[in-house]
Amino acid sequence: MSTALRIALAQANLTVGDVAGNTRRMLDILDAARAQAAQLVLFPELSVCGYPPEDLLFHAGLRTQVAEALATLGAATAGITAVIGYPEYVDEQVYNSAAVFSDGQQVANYRKQCLPNYSVFDEERYFAAGTKACVIDVQGVRLGLAICEDVWEPGPCRLAAAAGAQAIVAINGSPFKLGKQSLREAILAERAIENDLPVVYQNLVGGQDELVFDGGSCALTASGETVVRAIAFEESLPCVDLELSSDDTLVPRAGEMAALQSPEASIYQALTTGVRDYVGKHGFPGIVLGLSGGIDSALTLAIAVDALGADAVQAVMMPYRYTAPMSQSDAAEQARLLGVDYQVIPIEAMVTATLDGLAPLFAGLAPDTTEENIQSRCRGILLMAISNKTGRMVLATGNKSEMAVGYATLYGDMAGGFAPIKDCTKTLVYRLAQYRNELSAVIPKRVIDRPPSAELAPDQQDTDSLPPYEVLDGILDALMLDDLSVDGIVAQGFDRDIVVDIVERVRRNEYKRRQAPPGVRISARAFGRDWRYPITSGYRHR
């Protein structure tokens, strides 16, 4: 079989709102695609403005910048065809569109038909839906265009096939969640088989606030077999060769086939990608975090170093009278293993001064969690002061289990600009720590093995206030991922009193979560943009 068409898949890391920077990057990719003898290059969904642009779309200045960028990019398509995602402004409407340029001229335009309005997506807020198929001719090959959600529903690809497409090509801004690549390829296989057409799929990479895009660009035969898969989470420009068979059907030639990652590997890469791009795209010189000697801060430190490099990371141990000697030695050991700047700032005098100042107001009142939270808030003050002075951003180290039930101190350990493991349950934190140590031993084994403790009171353990994390996380998954009622969760084998207590804590602590920093979304439902419960609510789960 002879090659009928070579398609370059621009698995690019672009920045929302940086139209000029994205344009420069795309011009470089055009040159690289030509160097690989590609005849067509696919850029990501809304690549000109970055995805998702959210309310930037309403700003008149963006409209002007997008028009200028399209003119620049279109003029640079000598000898190549490019499919470029952009917001198309038509009077008062905006479309999520793909412009097709060839030899300096726009030859076609496609408008996304299926607008997702669930989970982290709210495209109906911004875009009008297209209604028509778009089939383009590139070197005599007829290609039906699709944009992201269009391949998750059967209609658009069916329209393209009816309009004479010999293959479907899709540009995407599809964010990561656990198991997403397998799900994508299953859906793409459905589209391929039902239309008897090969599918070429290109996707974005990189972090954008809570979302991480994992790439996974791929090509499937008309029978639904994946024959090309790009490496996840990395910028690349893989090429897909469409070959013409003896019966004049198109077949993508087998090429690069990156292995599907294990759950732990994919999540860990998502977390490091999210931290790297959040810090880098904001222009912070590095990060600072509180290293307690516990599992959460230990994992967060490893993620930060893997994302940014040791020189960009500062760890601070802030011991108080309840901080165990093993916590201090384990924190120091991990800092040494990772080669980060490590400082120790005792907070005894700070806490004492705060309690002395409050003594007249607290006279006659028994000690409670107030005194514990003062320790945490003193630590938050120190970290934020370091951030202000150095420009380094504070990474918060809390996990999803704690955030769910409010086992975290507002303006204390919740302080920070970004929370890498915010969507990781405590049981997942342990799995990720074990996974990271399999790559190289950077988290002391005792940190993983010892019972978890906030160390805010004598001999304190998390189980003093919470059920075992295996139980807590099972209840949270049933509540958050499956939307089960109390009865439904109890039917899974959990104790009713514990379930009622946990779901009530989740309800009560919504006000805390609204004030928490953003963090990487890795599950099917994270606190943040796809958890939209009211703060003030009389609802009671039953």
- Name the catalytic one among 49, 88, 112, 372: 112
Q: Which residues of 411-448 are buried (b: 16+ CB within 10 A; e: fewer)?
A: ebbbbbbbbbbbbbbbbbbbebbebbbeeeebbbeebe
Please list the alpha-helical segments (H only) found in 442-535: 445-449, 469-480, 486-490, 496-508, 510-514
The residue among 269, 281, 267, 272 whose CA lies nearest residue 208 is 281
- Name the catalytic one among 134, 148, 218, 239: 148
CB 159, CB 134: distance < 8 Å: no
CA–CA–CA angle 467, 470, 474 (5° rounding): 95
CB 276, CB 207: distance < 8 Å: yes
Q: 112 an active-site residue?
A: yes
The residue among 333, 288, 293, 286 whose CA lies nearest residue 315 is 288
Q: 134 an active-site residue?
A: no
Q: Positive or negative, the Cα torsion across 429, 434, 439, 442?
A: positive
Q: 45 an active-site residue?
A: yes
C-alpha–C-alpha distance, residues 224 and 196, integer Å: 9
C-alpha–C-alpha distance, residues 175 and 120, integer Å: 9
Q: What is the 3-state secondary structure (H, E, C) of 477-495?
A: HHHHCCCCCHHHHHCCCCC
- Name the catalytic one among 45, 149, 372, 455: 45
Burial of 275 (0-12, 13-18, 19+ CB in 10 A): buried
Instruction: Give the active site residues.
Output: 45, 112, 148
